[in-house]
Amino acid sequence: MNSLKKGILFATFITSLSFVGCSNDNNDDELMGNWVKKSAFDGPARSSAASFVIGNYAYVATGYTGDEYLKDLWVYNSTGDYWEQKADFTGVARSSASAFELNGKGYIGLGYDGTNKLKDFHEYNPATNVWEQKAEFAGSARYSAVGFQVGGKAYFGTGYDGNYLKDFYQYNQTSNTWNQVNGFSGNKRRNATVFVINDKAYLGTGVNSGSNQNDFWQFDPSTDLWTKKRNLDDSESDHDTYSIVRSNATSFTMNGLGYIACGEGSKTIWEYNPSTDLWKERTSLEGSSRTDAVGFAINDRGFVLLGRSGSSYFDDAWEFKPLEEQNDYDN
């Protein structure tokens, strides 16, 4: 073979290797999941809002615009894809509050009003569109705590009161009282996130003294026991390397799987399977990366909306469809 032919073959071989390398590095092409843009939030763009879901509707309240703390309440109709404004939250305007739904009522408490850490607590009745102040939270005034309802029991826990916290309190709706629940042996933190699958709550992420936390926990309300699960930066022989560690993320549950999305400097989303205790990366949010967003699920449909990136605040809303391939042309 002459030198010219040898040179052509060598160049072709090198070019082929380059294409293979580029294809292997482009992991996004291999990820499942599609994001569909929904009706933009009708209120001001904001971060650090609170949300709860009652029946077929999601409610979003409070938050911070970058200039103003808010107390407005909006409800999202996922069937019609539109927003309606409801009665303003009756506490002081705030951000970084915590919320949950319990027996058809919505609850918001805690947070930060720009000057003070808060511990007041309020109930919303969607049937009457009326707020009512309830018993003050029994723990310290704080913000960036988690709120969740699991197995018919509702909780606030973790957060920041000048120190990072790891305590949890259960709210009794009948007696309108709070009781401390012991037993969480995870790390202190604020800005964690929680999702609920089959009457178990799963808590992870968050930050403690500038360090993002990697531990991940399951809570069983029937026994009040916390069980440690696989760390969020774990890589073992039966699993691809992953890192879900972050703060200020959001989460939701669909079809028996949990999802953690976005967070500081991120737009990635990870899917958790409780039967295997394993995570799988899905297609990243097609909107801007963001922190302090809102996430919720309505009838096994998952949504991410609002949040901020630096000094930019968002009012866009996105629905995640995990079983579809990404489509760049449907938004």
Please provide the DSSP assignment of 176-238 as one string.
TEEEEE----S--BBS-EEEEETTEEEEE--EETTEE---EEEEETTTTEEEE---TT---TT
Question: Distance between CA 92 and CA 319 in Å, rounded?
Answer: 31
Tell me if 119 sits within 8 A of 103, measured CB to CB: no
Helix residue ranges, H only, 215-326: none
Question: Distance between CA 108 and CA 111 in Å, rounded?
Answer: 9
Q: How confident is the model at residue 239 (pLDDT cuts 50, 70, 90)?
A: low
Could you tell me if residue 7 is inside a domain? no
Could you tell me if residue 22 is inside a domain? no
Over residues 132-143, mean pLDDT:
98
Could you tell me if residue 208 is inside a domain? yes
Buried b (16+ CB within 10 A) or exposed e, 130-150: ebeebeebbbebbbbbbbbbb
User: What does the pLDDT look like over 275-329, one tens digit per residue?
Assistant: 999 999 999 999 999 999 999 999 999 999 999 999 999 999 999 999 999 998 8
pLDDT at 238: 62
Q: Which domain, by its residues, includes 263?
A: 51-314
Could you tell me if residue 26 is inside a domain? no
pLDDT at 331: 81
User: What does the pLDDT look like over 179-205, one tens digit per residue?
Assistant: 999 899 999 999 999 999 999 999 999
Q: How many domains does the chain have?
A: 1
Mean pLDDT of the chain: 91
DSSP 29: G
Could you tell me if residue 29 is inside a domain? no
Across the strands, what pairs with 273? 278
Domain harbouring 147, CATH code: 2.120.10.80
Could you tell me if residue 36 is inside a domain? no
Could you tell me if residue 8 is inside a domain? no
Could you tell me if residue 46 is inside a domain? no
Closest CA to 158 of 101, 198, 206: 206
Judging by DSSP bridges, how do beta strands 269-273 and 257-261 pair with one another? antiparallel
Over residues 22-46, mean pLDDT:
78
Q: What is the pTM of this model?
A: 0.90
